[in-house]
């Protein structure tokens, strides 16, 4: 399977309900070392409820500028969530099916510690 097979594919829940489209995948580097880098592992799929078009990177961070573009993209992709790859039951031609009890996770990337206020309790 290549990434192109997944992108834009409709996503259906366990009861065959429409959930949206795959707009991106998220990889993590936590496998065994291959050369200087850890081997990438498929962590999950980003699912946008209304459109298969690109989110242009705004799903990852709290960036809100330039205002017009950010607001438009966030509105187009409102309700976007991340599902773990383990929650995917099957990838069929034309549909990705999620298993029972799948979880919808926030698509935000945890920032570097210096950018995360929750790791810096007020002193």
Partner 1 sequence: MKRVLGVALGILTAIGGFLDIGDMVTNAVVGSRFGLSLAWVVVVGVIGICLFASMSGRVAAVSGRATFEIIRERLGPRAAGANLTASFLINLLTLTAEVGGIALALQLASSVEPRLWIPVAALALWLVVWRAKFSIMENVTGLVGLTLVVFAVAVFLLGPDWNELADQALSPTVPAAEGHAVYWYYAIALFGAAMTPYEVFFFSSGAVEERWTVKDLAQSRMNVLVGFPLGGILSVAIAACAAIVFLPAGIEVSSLSQIVLPVALAGGKLALAVVIVGIVAATFGAALETSLSSGYTLAQFMGWSWGKFRRPAQAARFHLTMIVCILVAGAVLMTSVDPIKITEFSVVFSAIALPLTYLPILIVANDPEYMGEHVNGRATNALALVYLVIIVTASVAAIPLMIATGAGS
Give the C-alpha separation, 50 to 78, whole Å.
8
Question: CA 81 to CA 75: how far, in whole Å?
Answer: 14
Q: How far is the CB of 51 from partner 1 (least distance, A)?
A: 13
Are the C-beta atoms of 83 and 47 separated by less than 8 Å? Answer: yes
Dist. CA 35–CA 89, nearest whole Å: 32
Looking at the Cβ atoms of 61 and 86, the one nearer to partner 1 is 61
Single residue of 16, 17, 65, 113 touching partner 1 by CB under 8 A: 65
Query: Is residue 26 a contact point for partner 1 (CB under 8 A)?
Result: no
Rank residues 14 and 52 by Cβ distance to partner 1 and give the closer one: 52
Residues 43-62 that bind partner 1 (CB under 8 A): 53-54, 56-58, 60-61
Closest CA to 23 of 44, 37, 39: 44
List residues binding partner 1 (CB under 8 A): 4, 7, 53-54, 56-58, 60-61, 63, 65-70, 115
């Amino acid at each position: 399977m290549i990434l192109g097979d997944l992108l834009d594919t409709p996503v259906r829940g366990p009861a065959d309900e429409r959930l949206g489209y795959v707009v991106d995948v998220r990889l993590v580097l936590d496998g065994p070392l291959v050369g200087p880098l850890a081997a990438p592992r498929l962590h999950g799929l980003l699912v946008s409820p209304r459109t298969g078009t690109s989110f242009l990177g705004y799903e990852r961070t709290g960036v809100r500028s330039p205002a017009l573009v950010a607001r438009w993209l966030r509105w187009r992709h409102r309700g976007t969530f991340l599902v773990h790859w383990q929650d995917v039951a099957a990838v069929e031609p034309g549909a990705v099916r999620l298993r029972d009890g799948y979880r919808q996770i926030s698509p935000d990337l945890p920032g570097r510690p210096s950018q995360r206020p929750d790791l810096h309790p007020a002193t």
